[in-house]
């Protein structure tokens, strides 16, 4: 079988032990078949009460600990995890499945393939609920926004991002959606001059708060939003439209 990048992934029979290097996929698997999950990153905070072995961060996983867990499958993502780490796990004889998600439709397809094809599970009910939650036509009235994701230095959403696609469906157009980079560094002076109707400030990866964020954009309305509902693909998408609409105003 081929993962989202077209890389062959061979597992030795049925999958009984999985390590996830992606918070979204950790939540997705834990909600579907929690008995399969044996390891996850320090950033895997959902579902609440997750008690599997922590194996470091998404960018600096403890490779020896992962190998020692003896997983049948390791779940990863093309932009959250480093290729060198994934290749090291493959070299140790582990099967690694890598997702690639830039749009909401890609998320639906990738989640379905990951759970049913890679993990050998029945399609979960929550996936149908997620698709229903986003089945309404996109909002027609569009506000122009800048969406910072980091402050030191300032970085924003650029082209081809999952979060940008979600916001567009909710009537928020990313002013940097045509930038050649996906996460460009933009000076604050340029952000202030971009002509935005709104500044969208998520609480991850940089934790923007009411005291650290809106004050840099005194002339532009700011919306503090849940990073999990804006950037995670999985069960949280079922409530994401209502959560994000309430925050965006």
Q: What residue ranges do the domains of the chain occupy?
A: 18-123, 143-248
CATH class of 143-248: alpha beta
Q: How far apart are CA 75 and CA 65, in angstroms?
A: 15
Phi and psi at 162, nearest 5°, equal: -60, -45
Would you tell me how many other CB atoms lie within 10 Å of the CB of residue 78? 15
Long-range contacts of 48-56 (CB under 8 A, 24+ apart): 50/26, 55/19, 55/21
Helices (H), the chain: 23-32, 63-69, 83-91, 104-112, 125-133, 162-169, 188-192, 227-231, 240-248
Q: For position 235, what pLDDT does the model report?
A: 96
Residue 13 is predicted with a pLDDT of: 80
The CB density around residue 21, as the number of other CB atoms within 10 Å, is 30
User: pTM of the predicted model, to two decimals?
Assistant: 0.92
Residues of the chain with pLDDT under 50: none
Domain 18-123 in CATH 3.40.50.1980? The answer is: yes
The confidence score (pLDDT) of residue 128 equals 96
Q: Give the angle subtended at the CA of 181 by the CAs of 248 and 162, to the nearest 5°.
A: 40
Residue 154's pLDDT is what?
Answer: 98
For residue 18, what pLDDT is reported? Answer: 98
Dihedral of CA atoms 96, 43, 109, 7 in degrees, nearest 10, equals -20
Cβ-in-10-Å burial (0-12, 13-18, 19+) of 74 comes to buried
Measured over the CA atoms of residue 103, residue 104, residue 105 and residue 109, the dihedral's sign is positive
Query: Is the fold of 18-123 the same as that of 143-248?
Result: yes
Residue 7's alpha-carbon distances to 86, 140, 241, in angstroms, are 12, 38, 33
What is the predicted pLDDT for the residue at 187?
A: 97
Closest CA to 99 of 70, 74, 120: 74
Question: How many degrees, rounded to 5, is the angle at CA 121 between CA 118 and CA 126?
Answer: 110
pLDDT at 138: 78
Tokens of 136: 């309404």
């Amino acid at each position: 079988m081929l993962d989202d990048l077209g890389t062959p992934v061979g597992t030795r029979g049925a999958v009984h032990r999985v390590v996830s290097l992606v918070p979204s996929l950790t939540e997705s698997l834990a909600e579907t078949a929690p008995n399969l999950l044996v390891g996850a990153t320090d950033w895997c905070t959902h579902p609440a009460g997750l008690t599997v072995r922590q194996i470091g961060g998404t960018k600096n996983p403890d490779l020896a600990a992962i190998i020692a867990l003896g997983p049948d499958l390791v779940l990863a993502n093309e932009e959250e995890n480093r290729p060198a780490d994934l290749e090291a796990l493959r070299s140790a004889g582990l099967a690694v499945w890598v997702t690639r998600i830039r749009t909401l439709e890609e998320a639906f397809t990738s989640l379905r393939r990951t759970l049913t094809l890679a993990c050998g599970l029945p399609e979960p009910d929550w996936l149908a609920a997620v698709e229903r939650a986003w089945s309404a036509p996109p909002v027609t009235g569009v506000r122009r926004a800048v969406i910072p994701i980091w402050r030191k230095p300032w970085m924003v959403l650029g082209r081809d991002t999952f979060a940008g696609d979600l916001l567009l469906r909710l009537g928020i157009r990313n002013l940097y959606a045509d930038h050649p980079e996906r996460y460009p560094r933009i000076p604050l002076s340029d952000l202030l001059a971009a002509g935005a109707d709104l500044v969208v400030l998520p609480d991850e990866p940089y934790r923007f708060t009411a005291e650290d964020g809106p004050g840099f954009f005194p002339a532009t309305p700011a919306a503090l939003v849940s990073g999990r509902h804006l950037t995670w693909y999985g069960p949280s998408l079922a409530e994401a439209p209502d959560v994000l609409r309430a925050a965006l105003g």
